[in-house]
Amino acid sequence: MKKGFALLTLIAFLSIGNFSIFAQDTTADEEVAASETVTNEETSKDEVIENETTEENSTEDVTNEETFHQIIKQKFMEGGPEFMGIVLLCLILGLALSIERIIYLNMATINSDKLLNDVESALKSGGVDAAKDVCRDTKGPIASIFYQGLDRSNEGLEQVEKSIVAYGSVQMGLLEKGLSWISLFIALAPMLGFMGTVIGMIGAFDSIEAAGDISPSLVAGGIKVALLTTVFGLIVAMILQVFYNYLISKVDSIVNDMEDSSIKLVDILVNNK
């Protein structure tokens, strides 16, 4: 009897212990599952927030890009089409002339030392006619000057020098063709801007006179137009000034090369006479 009671007690203790262990395991599993659920929810929230942030950044970038173009268009229209249109026309014409001059001057630039060597070799091997053929087949103002000088070589060195000087002036005029118009647009663009400034200020004072009172809202529009036309005119002038200075330096470089090469040509003719 005592042994049976002890056996039942032992079985009861073992059952209670297993139930506790099972309960602890179940509770632990539930806590892990709950923590994983919370973690997944937080991760999902973070991903949603990141996606929303990315979408907001993309939207802001597009908005900023659109706003930049819209601001330019808006400010251009606010400046007044009668002045802003003329300033824009000055920019377009000035840039067109500048690009044309850049292409022309780059095509006019050649290796003068190589041309001199070819002309000297042709003079020694085939005479003046062979040297003229070399100049005829070479592009640029230096080759044209050489051709004119060689064409007068039978009349003496004095005539050669006169021919080089005279035709050099012609080539210099061709190199500087169009630069005066670019200079005009450089001066005209800010002048138009300043004229818009004066007219805008006159409009502002007319508004004050008509209202009989000085109010910021009355003068703000006229002053805004004045400043916008001035800004755009100065921007156009600065852009064209950069191109103009580059073209002037390019022309000076070619002219110096022309003068130096012409002196060397005369020396070659003297040595091969």
Domain boundaries, the chain: 1-78, 81-271
Specify the pLDDT at position 54: 52
Q: Cα separation of 77 and 138, whole Å?
A: 51
33-84 per-position pLDDT tens digit: 445 444 444 454 455 445 555 555 554 444 445 576 677 666 666 666 677 8
Specify the pLDDT at position 50: 52
H or E element: which one contains 45?
helix 2-78
Specify the pLDDT at position 185: 94
Compute the half-sphere exposure of residue 64: CA atoms within 13 Å on the CB side of its CA: 6
- The residue type at 109: T
Q: Cα separation of 122 and 129, whole Å?
A: 8
108-158 per-position pLDDT tens digit: 888 888 988 888 888 888 888 888 888 888 888 999 998 888 888 888 788
For 17, 66, 77, the CA distances from 3, given in Å and listed in that order, are 21, 93, 108
179-210 per-position pLDDT tens digit: 999 999 999 998 888 887 777 777 767 777 77
Query: Going by C-beta distance under 8 Å and a sequence separation of 6 or more, which residues neighbour residue 32?
Result: none
Q: Cα separation of 72 and 125, whole Å?
A: 65
- Dihedral sign computed on CA atoms, order 110, 137, 147, 268: positive
- The residue type at 157: L
Listed range (125-129, 165-169, 172-176, 223-227) with the worst mean pLDDT: 223-227
Phi, psi of 79 (to 5 degrees): -70, -15
Q: Cα separation of 31 and 19, whole Å?
A: 18
| Residue whose pair of structure tokens reads 């950069």 in the numeric block | 242
89-114 per-position pLDDT tens digit: 999 999 999 999 999 999 988 888 89
Mean pLDDT of 23-31: 44
